[in-house]
Structure 1
């Protein structure tokens, strides 16, 4: 009986869209990292590899790993809610699985670098963690691709605004908070992620992935057949829809 139930669940999972499956995996990774924070014997390991700081002995890898790590459950839930809102759309409509992972990991590194650079300039070695910078990049990228889409704030359901306005508002908010010295959030990391998403949506996808995507996939060890499948999928997403 349990075997049949497991088989049915697996079959349902396989029928899900790529965007939903990829988001499911990403949320699962973040939840697993959150559970690891609760293991006392892992604390030193987690502080070393899953937080970032310019004063850290290990600098590069934590810039990426810290984007899968969260300070508390509320931090995790809020970030995963936003991720689940925008990731499936961007994967299924614009990026595909392979390009999404390349985009997300790069956004994590860029946003962490922005945060680390700002902390070095102001002279604080406070450690940082969280997916917010990478998610801001994804949010801005998706908004750039769908500029006329209408967005709403969760707790203000009767107020909506265009995706284009959301991009301008978020960048302005983080820039003002950064200049005023507010430290409640890592505004430098948020701004770095937003600007990366803006760049990739406007220029980066054409300059980088469409020209060098096949070489990147080859370096990742994907077979020629798999690369052809990815290329066909990429071309189908870049083809404008027909209007009847």
Structure 2
């Protein structure tokens, strides 16, 4: 059995191995959330609370999902889009892009959360959505005619070049209407980071 797993692993592309490793980290963190005795630790070190004074959670929260639907959707999206971006950037640059995008999304959410605390409560945040949005928007820049499928409309393919503006529009509406189910600031930041990096990053940064 070990040899079968090893041979399967060795047959994967470099991008598949990298994405699988990121998913594995997220899986371990998700599993830790399911152990009641660990939850105080998880809330302290794997949720970013702008009022806590902790900075490490800007990073650790990007690998943290408490609910299965959140974990499942993000990991499915990462597997779908992350490899395409990885193949374009290479492993080292992709990892730098992924981590930077996730942390930037957390940081912008942090700043706007504090700046708006007089009109809305400051909510803790967690999840890989900022980094995932970065991968999604990067894919839209690289392959705008690629088709994606909406979870609730699996029979209806949509070009990613159209899907991304629609998603960003929903997040903008979420900010203006003060929806609180998702971290819309993080989503938009991730998307903008992805668009900006693909346009300028490979030639001007890396």
TM-score (ref. length: structure 1)? 0.79
Quick one: distance in 2 between partners of 1:12 and 1:158?
Answer: 31
Quick one: distance in 1 between partners of 2:103 and 2:186?
Answer: 10
Q: Which of 203, 206, 213 is 2:203 aligned to?
A: 206
Deviation at 1:71, TM superposition (A): 2.0
Q: Which of 109, 123, 141 is 2:103 aligned to?
A: 109
Q: Which of 50, 58, 62 is 2:57 aligned to?
A: 62
C-alpha distance after superposition, 1:170-206 (max 9, x if no partner): 2222112111111111111111111111111111222
Quick one: distance in 1 between partners of 2:148 and 2:31?
Answer: 32
Q: Which runs of 5+ in 2 are unaligned?
A: none
Question: Which shows bigger deviation, 114-123 or 25-34?
Answer: 114-123
User: Contact (CA 8 Å) 1:144, 1:163: kept in 2 or not?
Assistant: no
Bigger Rg over Cα: 1
Quick one: distance in 2 between partners of 1:193 and 1:137?
Answer: 4
Q: Which of 84, 93, 104 is 2:79 aligned to?
A: 84
Q: Which runs of 5+ in 1 are unaligned?
A: 210-244
Q: Which residue of 2 aligns with 1:164?
A: 161
Question: Which shows bigger deviation, 44-53 or 149-158?
Answer: 149-158
C-alpha distance after superposition, 1:145-174 (max 9, x if no partner): 111222222332342332221222122221
Quick one: distance in 2 between partners of 1:155 and 1:125?
Answer: 30
Structure number with higher helix proportion? 1
What value does the CA root-mean-square deviation take over the aligned residues?
Answer: 1.4
Quick one: distance in 1 between partners of 2:22 and 2:79?
Answer: 9
Q: Which residue of 1 aligns with 2:68?
A: 73
Matches within 5 A, 1:1-244: 5-59=1-55, 61-92=56-87, 94-123=88-117, 124-209=121-206
C-alpha distance after superposition, 1:96-134 (max 9, x if no partner): 211111111001111101211221122133211011111
